Amino acid sequence: MNKSIQLLIYSLLIECLLLTGCWDRIELNDIAVALATAVDVEEDHVYRTTVQYALPGKMGASQTTGSGGGAEDNIAYIDSDIGKTLREAVTKMQARMSQRITFSHRRVLIVSEELARNGIRDMFDTTARTASNRLSAYIIVAKGKAFDLLKAEPQFERFSGENILYLAEARGVIKVNMRQAAQAMSPIGSDTILSYMTVKKSQLSNDPSKEIEFVGYAQFQDDKMVGTFEGEEAHGLMWLKDEISPYTTILKIEENKYASVNVKNGNVKIKPKLNDDHIEYALDIEINANLIEDFTRSDITNNSTQEVLSKSLEDHIDGAIHSAIKVIQENKGDSAQLGLLLQRHYPKQWREKYEDNWYEELAKAKFSIQIKANITDAGLVSENITNRVKAEESK
């Protein structure tokens, strides 16, 4: 082929790339990085959206800004506005900002408990529609106002949003990000839970700061919050959901004699069984735990001590699971996705009998729990190292 025609075709093809018009290019100096959003509900279906932005220029990383010093002062910037939709509020905020707001680094979305009780389905619409929004963000329910959580000043992180994120991802917490929450919310026989947090003042320090505390999980029925799992209920839920991550709990061995154990891992088998008038779930649980504190002054090498400890751990976890079941059955929120489990085992019966009135069936369901606990590790010593012993015994 003629060389010049070839060249012409190639250059025309390359020009096509330049014709797209829409350019994604944006310089770093022109973006405002949103780290966390808090959504509250005001009267008349008006949302108050509060956004936390990073002010990297004040982080002191650049030596050239000239402002110098005071690297600590306000590296986070919070702005808020109201709107009938979340986007309206953001648009209003954008009108007073010189830099384009980018949500691609937002990993935390906080909703107030009031909003959660009214329903959170709208949140998923806003987030999922734009590609730059991350569905890997964590959605958090705040006890009280959502913006109060953003306004907290945790000492360990530079941004409260970052702090919330690390709490939501911490060990011993069931991690539910927006994608997982959406998946849990979609089918009948499955409801989501979300991390539930509150602002707490640090205790007894000279200069008390407003810290953020992980309280437990908000329980949902469909998209509405119906209750909470706190303390042992939260641990019990972990076993029901078979999402065990190590956590520490205390055991009451005798009156005023306690021991702490660290639950390392466990194995849960849940089997639903259909009875005529109720469903029965059989839980078969195996637990491995470490002893990390023992105030009973006993010797762990002793078989009977071990038995006592295991027994008490078994009872403790049995109690925790039952307290979680109680919350589930009373509030009618299937946080452990027990309906989904039933559907997988008995798809036909599920469709015919249970799907339509699942929450009633769930309230009637019975649970039988088998637990086998092993204390596999007692730490570096088998008993308190200051225990008094007689001279000949020590030999």
Partner 1 sequence: MILSNKKNKKKQEKSYLDYSFLEELKGVFISPELETNKKMLEEYFKDCSDVVIKSFQIGNGVDNDEIDALAVSVDGMIDNDLMTEAMKSMMESKVEISDISQIKESILPFAEVNEKNNFSDFMLSILNGDLGILIDKNTESLLVSMRGFKTRTISEPETESSIRGPREGFIENLRVNTSMIRRKLKTPHLKTKAYKIGKYSCTDISLVYIDNIIDPNLIKEVDRRLSMIDMDGVLESGYIEEQIQDNIYSPFPQFRYSERPDTVSAALLQGKFAIIVDGTPNVLIAPTIFLNLIQASEDYYERFIVATAIRWLRFLFLFLALTTPAFYIAFTTYHQDIIPTTLLLSIIAAHEAIPFPAIVEALIMEVTFEALREASVRLPKTIGQAVSILGALVVGQAAVEAGIVSAPMVIVVSVTGIASFTIPTFNTGIAIRLLRFPIMFAASLFGIFGIFMSLLLLLGHLGNLKSFGVPYLTPLAPLRIKDLKDTVVAAPWPFMTERPQYIPVQDKKRMGTQVKKNVEKDGGIKNKNAEEVGDQGE
Residues 133-192 that bind partner 1 (CB under 8 A): 162
Minimum Å gap between C-beta 341 and partner 1 is: 36
Distance CA 289, CA 117 (A): 37
Using alpha carbons only, give the angle 254, 257, 261 rounded to the nearest 5 degrees.
100
**Strand, coil or helix: 87:** helix
> Rg for the chain (alpha carbons), in Å?
27
Is residue 25 involved in binding partner 1 (CB under 8 A)?
yes
Minimum Å gap between C-beta 65 and partner 1 is: 6
59, 97, 170, 250: residue in contact with partner 1 (rule CB under 8 A): 59
Tell me the number of residues near partner 1 by CB under 8 A: 27
- Per-residue b or e along 58-74, where b marks 16 or more CB atoms closer than 10 Å to that residue's CB: beeeeeeeeeeeeeeee
Q: Are 34 and 76 in contact (CB under 8 A)?
A: no
Is residue 62 involved in binding partner 1 (CB under 8 A)?
yes
Stretch binding partner 1 (CB under 8 A), from 52-60, 193-201, 233-241, 286-294: 52-60
7, 8, 9, 26: residue in contact with partner 1 (rule CB under 8 A): 26
Is residue 96 involved in binding partner 1 (CB under 8 A)?
no
Is residue 256 involved in binding partner 1 (CB under 8 A)?
no
Minimum Å gap between C-beta 51 and partner 1 is: 15
x/- site string to partner 1, residues 196 to 235, per CB under 8 A? Answer: ----------------------------------------
Minimum Å gap between C-beta 47 and partner 1 is: 25
Using alpha carbons only, give the angle 58, 60, 65 rounded to the nearest 5 degrees.
75
5, 17, 204, 391: residue in contact with partner 1 (rule CB under 8 A): 17
Residue among 12 and 18 whose Cβ is closer to partner 1: 18
Pairing of strands 247-254, 108-112: unpaired
Is residue 64 involved in binding partner 1 (CB under 8 A)?
yes
Residue among 105 and 200 whose Cβ is closer to partner 1: 105
CA atoms within 13 A on the CB side of 333: 25
1, 12, 13, 28: residue in contact with partner 1 (rule CB under 8 A): 28
Distance CA 293, CA 280 (A): 37
Q: Are 264 and 171 in contact (CB under 8 A)?
A: no
Using alpha carbons only, give the angle 96, 100, 106 rounded to the nearest 5 degrees.
110
Q: Are 59 and 72 in contact (CB under 8 A)?
A: no
Using alpha carbons only, give the angle 27, 34, 102 rounded to the nearest 5 degrees.
40
12, 16, 19, 61: residue in contact with partner 1 (rule CB under 8 A): 61
Q: Are 272 and 345 in contact (CB under 8 A)?
A: yes
Is residue 349 involved in binding partner 1 (CB under 8 A)?
no
Task: Write out the residues near partner 1 by the rule CB under 8 A.
Answer: 17-18, 24-29, 31, 33, 35, 54, 56-57, 59-65, 102, 104-105, 107, 132, 162
